[in-house]
Structure 1
Amino acid sequence: MDDFLPTDPAQARLGQLLFYDPILSGNRNISCGTCHHHSLASGDGLSLGIGEGGRGLGKDRTPGTGPDQIRKRIPRNAPALWNLGHKSIRVLFHDGRLEISDQYGNGFDSPAEEWLPQGLNSILAAQALFPLTAQFEMAGNVGENDVTGAVHDRIDLGWPVLAKRVRTIPEYGALFVEAFAHIDTPAEVTIVEIGNALGAFMASEWISIDSPYDAWQRHGAPLPPAAERGRQLFFGKAACSTCHAGPLFTDQEFHALGLPAFGPGRTRIFDPMPRDVGRMGETDRIEDAYRFRTPSLRNVALTAPYGHNGAFATLEVMIRHHLNPAVSQASWQEADAGLPAVPWLAVSDFAIRQDRLEMARQARRLDIGPLPVSGTELSDLVAFMRALTGKNVTTRPLGRPDRVPSGLPVD
């Protein structure tokens, strides 16, 4: 446990309530837990999520109706939260747009640049603030509420609105005074304390280091034969550990895998095409085009679908893609994407695939190549990755609360 950030139990308990409380969304209709739910292994089970305006959880989530219906799918797959409190974590989000850095004098290089407040005590605390500002994730559409209106003016201006919402609820006010030594009255609570509480919860809640692989590594407990063969392939012939390295099975670097393109893309003001250029969207360097952060493989068997856009529904097909991306691209079908039906978005869901030049650009940017692996070896690799599943993944320290202080419904 020394490898993980220290957390205060009172702050983590407060963070648990905030994590599941829709009070932090512009329209008070979605929480962090909606897309990172305990019952869904800290994800949402969808290729591309349905954000604010939707109803329900996971594959049963619907896109809303009338004026509340969603206007866009979430452009990327909701990442799992396992072990993000590990001290080695230095970069977050699929494109790495949040990094530990002194560039802006607040400890982080982030989309808020110099407007990110001082005092956030971990990268997880900083990360927690950005979904709150995202229009289609939690903030809502311009004109619908005071949070998204403020964010539209400047990214940091919505956070004080949310902090006031929270601290003026008497139960929350008392909890902040109890959890933070420097807070004497609820009026002193800012978005920094909210972020630090959310970070404490996520850092302590999703620790998972008790898999069969951990037992093998620490005590020499033998893996099942198929998993042992898969382990040898993973660290040997298949070269998976080239990128999936270290205790979390990620090098925290960025690689182009040539995943099938679909969805709204992560568009930019000067680049409105429905594509996702990955790391290049953060660095503006052409060599970073279509590269995405290597995900951790801890509990990977529980966190389908896979890839930055959730293009592959099973571990087997995701591994198969790594072994021969060109063949995988050619055989991929639109039905393979786990997208709940949204009739008014159907025309745009796969529009980018009709752009011949864009597809050619993406095909040329590839950091993996064909690797001969037999069907049996593929099954062994899957078995090894299943051996990265913790024994106590369903038994979390705090879990999902039955109620939250705002009185709003808990997903």
Structure 2
Amino acid sequence: MTLRSLGRALAALTAFLVLTLVLARPARAKGSSVDERLAKVLARHGFTGEIESTLESRLGRKLDKKLAKLGRDLFFDSLLGLNDDNSCSGCHAPTAGFADTQSIAIGIDSNGVVGPHRTGPRNQRRTPTIINTAFYPALMWNSRFFAVSGDPFDNSRGFSFTAPEGTSLSSLPHLLNAQAFIPPTEVAEMTGYEGPPSHDVVREEVTERVNDVKAYRKRFAKSFQAVKRGDDITYEMIAAAIAEFEMSLTFADAPIDRFARGRRHAMTLEQKRGALLFFGEAGCVRCHAVSGESNEMFSDFQQHAIGVPQIAPTDDPAHSNVVFDGPNADEDFGLEQVTGDPADRYKFRTSPLRNVALQPTFFHNGSFTSLEGAIRHHLDVYTSATEYTNKHLDRDLRGEMGPLAPVLAAVDPLLQEPIDLTEEEISWLCAFVGEALLDPRATPKRLEALIPEELPSGREVHRFE
């Protein structure tokens, strides 16, 4: 090679390298720009990614692992159900992110299976997750249990429940302690017989059952000095143990949290773009809020009507433990059941989105069985609802659906206009909600490890699929 040809070759190589750098620079700048934009958006909404680290400081103490383990055993034990066939875990399944395996919950009179093959009469709604509920200021689909202060750690203004409890549980230290008083008294969930006595009588029976088990008394004595001295276990102690277990199910360290704390590579580019849509053009954050009382849980904990098609079991009484609303008993009036105000009909609490990918079904009645389908419904409520079919649901939920017209007439103004996104943008949004909000510690395998092999009562643990 001559000196001249060598020079030409070097010049060509230099030009190629310069061109490569010029072409590569915009891509790097684009990625950097996305990071900067997302960081600014999160800061504007007050999202810190540090909510989990505040749990013990807000409790004013450390989590009690021994008490939480006792609460776990109570949570999985049908001893607490006077129908003798269901426990908290029968509906809050670790195999489904401590949410429901069903579109509409099956409580008492089930076949003892927890999973896709669970059978029995239906209740009225899907069971929501208990993961991260330590930070929820309002519980249940119609928010009928809530902290008046807007802070579940603050009982200074009381905890409000429907009758007969009212505000009588307000002396308890946390909203979850108060909520733990309720499930054993619910006919369709655990009690199992019509016309039950007062809730206090039911709790007394449950407490007596636990006191009669020597293994439980031994366990409670390790956490409560009164029991160690020979006093009886009280329902307040049972509730405290269950609440402690639920508080231990705090999994709020997802990629979005790590990004907010400065780890820019915690999220993929697709997830970041989806986040910008979520907080921006798609408008999701208007209801799935992170600021203030929302505690970074991706819910405003308010009630909205969002046009979800009405699903109910067939009209055979054997298929339902609950009488549905409406003239044909095929509707769920939602918040109206609590307030008595027809203006609240079809309104349900905004579902918190952390770890939502663990759920097999979505919305208050599980009418959608894919996260993408649920997201698409939000983007175009009227088209989604009118084209909806229930043929993908379990056989007993495939009958004629409840009326749709009044549901669509009540749709929240925030969702009345379609949100126009491209297919690529929808894929980004799904990546953000499904992946970037999922704490990697909350995998099904890890949650299934919490299922006890045996119970202090000697009763069988449900069969989890």
Give the TM-score taking structure 2 as reference length: 0.76
Find the counterpart in structure 1 of residue 310 from structure 2: 261
Distance 2:323 2:139 in 1: 19
5 Å-filtered alignment, 1:192-207, equals 192-204=236-248, 206-207=249-250
Does residue 209 (structure 1) correspond to residue 252 (structure 2)? The answer is yes
User: Mean Cα displacement is larger for which, 187-196 or 310-319?
Assistant: 187-196
5 Å-filtered alignment, 1:76-155, equals 76-86=125-135, 89-101=136-148, 107-111=158-162, 112-114=164-166, 116-117=168-169, 119-142=171-194, 152-155=196-199
Distance 2:276 2:167 in 1: 47
Does residue 404 (structure 1) correspond to residue 455 (structure 2)? The answer is yes
CA contact (8 A) 1:256 1:366 kept: yes
Does residue 361 (structure 1) correspond to residue 423 (structure 2)? The answer is no
CA contact (8 A) 1:47 1:310 kept: yes
CA, structure 1 residues 308+270, in 2 after alignment: closer, same or farther (shift >3 Å)? closer
5 Å-filtered alignment, 1:258-297, equals 258-263=307-312, 267=323, 273-297=329-353
Distance 1:295 1:44 in 2: 14
CA contact (8 A) 1:119 1:192 kept: no
CA contact (8 A) 2:324 2:331 kept: no
User: Mean Cα displacement is larger for which, 21-30 or 258-267?
Assistant: 258-267
CA contact (8 A) 2:159 2:167 kept: no
Distance 1:9 1:362 in 2: 45
- CA-CA distance at 1:271 after TM superposition: 8.2
Distance 2:170 2:285 in 1: 37
Distance 1:32 1:116 in 2: 23
Distance 2:204 2:88 in 1: 18
Distance 2:175 2:388 in 1: 36
Distance 2:173 2:233 in 1: 15
CA contact (8 A) 1:173 1:185 kept: no
Which digits, 9 at most, give the CA deviation of each residue in 1:226-250, with x for residues without a partner?
A: 1111011001100111111111111
CA contact (8 A) 1:256 1:292 kept: yes
CA contact (8 A) 2:107 2:123 kept: yes
Which digits, 9 at most, give the CA deviation of each residue in 1:135-183, with x for residues without a partner?
A: 22111123xxxxxx6xx23233211100110111111112222212444
Equivalenced residue count is 380
CA contact (8 A) 1:172 1:405 kept: yes
User: Mean Cα displacement is larger for which, 273-282 or 1-10?
Assistant: 1-10
CA, structure 1 residues 192+2, in 2 after alignment: closer, same or farther (shift >3 Å)? same
Does residue 62 (structure 1) correspond to residue 119 (structure 2)? The answer is yes
Distance 1:402 1:225 in 2: 42
- CA-CA distance at 1:119 after TM superposition: 4.7
Identity across the alignment (%):
31
Distance 2:376 2:268 in 1: 22
- CA-CA distance at 1:398 after TM superposition: 7.3
Find the counterpart in structure 2 of residue 382 from structure 1: 430
Q: Which runs of 5+ in 1 are unaligned?
A: 64-69, 143-148
Counterpart of 2:360 in 1: which secondary structure?
coil
CA, structure 1 residues 271+191, in 2 after alignment: closer, same or farther (shift >3 Å)? farther
Distance 2:392 2:325 in 1: 30
Counterpart residue identity of residue 110, structure 1 = F
CA, structure 1 residues 160+118, in 2 after alignment: closer, same or farther (shift >3 Å)? farther
CA contact (8 A) 1:173 1:186 kept: no
Distance 1:115 1:371 in 2: 41
Distance 2:166 2:355 in 1: 35
CA, structure 1 residues 178+390, in 2 after alignment: closer, same or farther (shift >3 Å)? same
Give the TM-score taking structure 1 as reference length: 0.85
5 Å-filtered alignment, 1:216-231, equals 216-222=259-265, 223-231=267-275
CA contact (8 A) 2:71 2:241 kept: yes
Find the counterpart in structure 1 of residue 13 from structure 2: none
- CA-CA distance at 1:184 after TM superposition: 4.1
CA, structure 1 residues 114+45, in 2 after alignment: closer, same or farther (shift >3 Å)? closer
Counterpart residue identity of residue 40, structure 1 = A
1:51 to 107, 128, 133: 107
- CA-CA distance at 1:44 after TM superposition: 2.7
Q: Which has the larger radius of gyration?
A: 2
Find the counterpart in structure 2 of residue 251 from structure 1: 300
CA, structure 1 residues 14+272, in 2 after alignment: closer, same or farther (shift >3 Å)? farther
